[in-house]
Amino acid sequence: MIRARVSPWVHRAAAIATVPVRGCVVLLGVMAGVASGQDACVSLLQHGIYDHFREINVHASASEMYSNVCSTYDSYKKDQQSGQVSAQYGLFGGEIQLSRDQIESIGQTMCNIQRNAATASSQLQNARDVISAPAVQAFSDCVALYSDGVRTTTTFREDDQNELTIDVRYVAPPGAGPTTKLNGITIAGDLMCSGPLWNMHATGGVIGNADYGMSCVRSSKQTAYMDEGHLVYASPATVTLYVSAAPAISRTLTYKLAGPPPTPLVLPIGTIIAFSGSMVDAEAQVENGWWVCDGRVVNDVASPAYNGHSTPNLTDKFLRAASAAGTLGGAAFFDIPDQQIKVWTDSFDYQHRITQDPALTVHGNSPWVNGGSIVSLGTFHGLQAATIPPYYSVIYLVKVK
């Protein structure tokens, strides 16, 4: 078979094959190299397992992740033989808990040298939660392309997450032509690609029964930065190859994380928030599961806890912490108890006559004498004092689903 690849790919493949398996951080490249046909697609799932666990244990190397998964898988297989299979199996000292079905699935995918695409497809349902979404899609597309004669092998440099190599070959199905056409290549993100396959895309060349390869390298920053809520050294990048057959060949280098992503804020049903906006905007939040707290009846069958029930009526009310929710109390004003008052007031230092106390009855018409005083006697009755401090009005919303 004629090889269209240039020597750097050949030399690298030979070098990879000499590395011991347990210390190899490019293990996927070795396995993909010895696999044939659609079995090479399984390396995409292996890469997706690495990507998923990186989100949980950012600083674990690829070899550490491989060792953790495969040693746990070995323990699971021994438990099977002894009939003592556990319900859960832990990775990274128990930091990650997997079900027996999940460790079975990812163990066969990552650690079983005899793995194949048919087995991986049957195990995918159990393992989908521990494989990155782009990898699951790439695997599905890779298997679909196989039936159209397009063979792809992808090697990810798992140690630094900054390089991937794609090889494409075409084996014509019965009745099809001997070649398929490369219609173009697109890049999203910070990738630089080179190699015979990359050079071909400018002219729209054809792929025959020979390997055409290219490598794409992503640069990383020395200082971490924020990207869509992730602290990263490199943002995601994708290369997509369009060939005559469908679907396209798309490979993604996901975030190179500098630290774990922030824990998502999950607000429980019944959470009350203050909304600073118009009532129209507040009422529009029902689409997001938030209803105005004014005693209205919730009409939402997707909210079994609140459907048919009233929201708390918090109009003109403050919130107060307590040991249980729902208690009402307090008042905008409080009554001043009726009481008799006797007050005397020092006089001013100049003469003045007072004929009427503005609040109470004055005993007699007394002249104001320097140094003297007046006495007021009377009863307070029916007076109130406000209890409302300075405020800013908001509209309270309650989460019902």
Residue 10, pLDDT score: 33
Each residue of 320-375: pLDDT tens digit? 898 999 888 888 888 888 877 665 554 444 445 444 444 444 444 455 454 555 55
Tell me the residue range of the domain where 36 lies.
7-257
Confidence label for 123 from pLDDT (cuts 50, 70 and 90): confident
Distance from C-alpha of 366 to C-alpha of 100, rounded to nearest angstrom: 99
Based on the domain organization, do 214 and 360 belong to the same domain?
no
pLDDT at 108: 86
56 vs 217, more confident: 217
Least confident of 66-80, 171-185, 284-298, 387-401: 171-185
> Does residue 54 sit in the same domain as residue 147?
yes
Looking at the fold, whether 227 and 365 belong to one and the same domain comes out as no
Q: Mean per-residue pLDDT for 233-251? A: 93
Can you give the pLDDT at residue 77?
A: 92
Residue 22 DSSP class: T
From 63-67, 161-165, 187-191, 259-263, the region with the lowest mean pLDDT: 259-263
| Residue 262, pLDDT score | 64
Within a domain: 278 = no
One domain, residues 32 and 134: yes
Pair 242, 347 in one domain: no
- pLDDT at 387 (0 to 100): 84
For the segment 275-303, the average pLDDT, to the nearest whole number, is: 93
Cis status, amide bond into 247, omega within 30 of 0: yes
Confidence tier at 9 by pLDDT (50, 70, 90): very low
249, part of any domain: yes
**Is position 303 within any domain?**
no
Q: Is the pLDDT of residue 14 over 70?
A: no
Can you list the alpha helix ranges (DSSP code H) found in 195-278? Answer: 196-201
DSSP 210: S
Average pLDDT score, the chain: 80
The confidence score (pLDDT) of residue 23 equals 30
Residue 75 has what pLDDT? 92
Note the Cα 31 to chain centre separation in Å: 31
Which of 210, 234, 257 finishes a domain? 257
Asked, for residue 290, whether it belongs to a domain, the answer is no
Q: Are 159 and 61 in contact (CB under 8 A)?
A: yes
pLDDT for 366: 52
- Domain co-membership, 366 together with 226: no
In the sheet where 225-227 sits, what is the strand order?
Answer: 225-227, 230-234, 256-257
Q: 11 to each of 89, 165, 171, 284, 327, how far by Cα in Å?
A: 40, 14, 25, 62, 76
- Measured CA to CA in angstroms, residue 80 lies from 74, 77, 84, 86, 329 at distances of 10, 5, 6, 9, 62
Is the residue at 309 inside a domain?
Answer: no
What's the CATH number where 110 sits? 2.60.40.10
User: Cβ distance 186 to 239 under 8 Å?
Assistant: yes
Q: Give the pLDDT of residue 248.
A: 94
Res. 5: pLDDT tops 60: no
**CB of 257 closer than 8 Å to CB of 231:** yes
For the chain, how many structural domains are there in total?
2
Is residue 110, in this structure, part of any structural domain at all?
yes
pLDDT tier for residue 121 given thresholds of 50, 70 and 90: confident
Can you tell me the mean pLDDT for 247-275?
87
Residue 110 structure tokens: 């990552």
In the chain, % of residues over pLDDT 70:
79
- 395 is written with which tokens? 């509209």
Residue 212 lies in a domain: yes
Encode pLDDT of 211-227 as tens digits: 899 999 999 999 999 99
374 phi and psi angles, rounded to 5 deg: -120, 155
Let me know if residue 288 belongs to a domain.
no
User: Are 240 and 127 within one domain?
Assistant: yes
Q: Between the ranges 52-61, 107-116, 149-158, 252-261, where is the mean pLDDT highest?
A: 149-158
Listed residues 230, 257, 284: the one ending a domain: 257
Residue 197 has pLDDT above 80, yes or no: yes
- Is residue 383 very low, low, confident or very high in pLDDT (cuts 50, 70, 90)? confident
Same domain, 163 and 20: yes
User: How is the beta sheet containing 373-380 ordered, strand by strand?
Assistant: 339-346, 373-380, 361-362
Q: Are residues 238 and 343 in the same domain?
A: no
Q: What is the pLDDT of residue 338?
A: 80
**Domain's final residue, options 207, 240, 257:** 257
If one compares 96 and 12, the residue with the highest pLDDT of the two is 96
pLDDT at 78 over 90: yes
Cα 320 to Cα 99, 268, 317, 326, 329, distances in angstroms? 43, 19, 10, 10, 10
